[in-house]
Amino acid sequence: MALLVPNEGEAQMLAIILGKTPAETLNLKLYSNDVTPSETDTASTYTEVSGSGYAQVVFSPSDFTIVEGAPSIATPDAKTFSFTGAAGYIYGYYVVGETSGKVYWVERFPATFNAQSYGDHIVMTTPLGLD
């Protein structure tokens, strides 16, 4: 599935661009419920993976390389989620503002990942593109 920016993420980004809201730290999280992202989603739509060594990843502005074009692309440095045991099925990821709790963007993986063993991992390098 393609990357989706829910309505609340669009509004939050506009508020930041226009200076109505300060920029905030973004947290990359994995979700374990079988949901297809939609425009009306909020953070409560998603069940964050828990246990088995899982921890959310914090994005820093310096993590992104931005290339202007059509579309302009922001590519993050690779982020790795490592597991120490069975965490179960993982359907995708979502990016949430640390202060606002709003979902900036979300994407369902093309195939479900099943974390079952020590050493299982997911490496994220998904770019954000705006046309």
Q: What is the pLDDT of residues 85-105, one digit of tens each?
A: 999 999 999 999 999 999 999
Whether residue 131 contacts residue 70, with contact meaning beta carbons closer than 8 Å, is answered with: yes
1-29 pLDDT tens trace = 688 999 999 999 999 999 999 999 999 99
Q: Indicate if the pLDDT at residue 59 is higher than 80.
A: yes
Whether 33 shows a pLDDT value over 60: the answer reads yes
Q: Is the pTM of this model over 0.85?
A: yes
Here the tokens at position 13 are: 């980004």
Measured distance CA(61)–CA(42) in Å, rounded: 23
